[in-house]
Each structure stands twice: as structure tokens, then as C-alpha cells.
Amino acid sequence: MPQFDVSTFPTQIFWLVVSFVLMYLLMARVALPRINRVLEERQRRIDDNLDRAQTLKEEADAAAAEYERVMEQARESARAAIAEAGQEMADEAAQRRAELEARLAADIKDAEARIAEAKNQAIGGLRDAAVDVAASAAGRLLGSAPAPDAIAAAVDSAIEQGGRR
């Protein structure tokens, strides 16, 4: 093997030094600056992405806060609308109740007036029937009928005494 031949060591060392210097220069002047640029570009992109992510996170937090604020306003507005609608319904119910009570009071008054008139008509009819029955009974018992005015006065007196009790 020629590498282990001592007579060729100086030339091998010379070419080793030459190739090392060339490789060092090639690496220092060409490859390492390119690698350094790639690494710097990658770091810059990472930093930009982190900055953009932070900005987007802040925007998302602001949007979430705005969303919560709008939702709270909507809830408050809904509560107010429900309360207002409830109050309106209560007012309307009270108004309808008052109208119904007034109508029922008027109906009750009319019914009482009709009942009183029917009662008066019934009493008037009853009075006439009582006068006829009393005249007929007095005529049978006494043999002759008393005067119609006397019978009517007696029936009226009996009705008045019955009403006082």
C-alpha cells in the first residue's frame, strides 16, 4: 500500500495540506455563507411567523372580547324586550279585565232590571189571578160576590203584609 510507504510521506503531507486549505477556503467562502444565509432566512421566517401568529392571536382575542360584549348587549336587549312585552301583556290583560268587568257589571244590571220587571209582571199577574180566585172563593162561600174594588183592596193589603215579613 502506497500510503504506508515512508518515502512518499512528504508528497502526501503536501497534498494533504493543499487539499485541506482548498477545502477550507471552499467551505469558508462558498458553502458556509450559503448555509448561514439559509439559516438566517429560516430564522427570519420563523420570527415573522411568530410575530404574525402573535398579531393574529391578539386580533382573535379582541374579536372574542367584542363577540362577548355584543352577546351581552343582545342578552340585555332580549331581557328588556321580554320584560317590556310582559309589562305590555299585563297592561293589556288589566285593560281587558277592566273592560270585561264593566261589561259584566252592565250585563248584571240589565239582568237585574229584567228580573225586577219579570218579577213585577209576575206579581201583577199573580195579583190579578189572586183577585179572580178571591172573588170566586168569596162568591162560593158567601153566596154573592163582593165588590171587585173591595176584593182588589184586600188582595193588595195581603200582598203588602207578605212583603213586610
CA distance 156 to 127: 8
165 residues of the chain, pLDDT tens digit each: 777 888 888 998 999 999 999 999 999 999 999 999 999 999 999 999 999 999 999 999 999 999 999 999 999 999 999 999 999 999 999 999 999 999 999 999 999 999 988 888 877 777 778 778 877 887 887 777 778 787 788 878 887 777 565
Averaged pLDDT of the chain:
89
42-79 confidence digits (pLDDT tens): 999 999 999 999 999 999 999 999 999 999 999 999 99
| This prediction's pTM | 0.43
For 54, half-sphere exposure in the C-beta direction (CA atoms, 13 angstrom radius) is 6
Rounded Cα gap, residues 83 and 75, in angstroms: 12
At residue 163, the pLDDT reads 59
DSSP state, residue 133: H
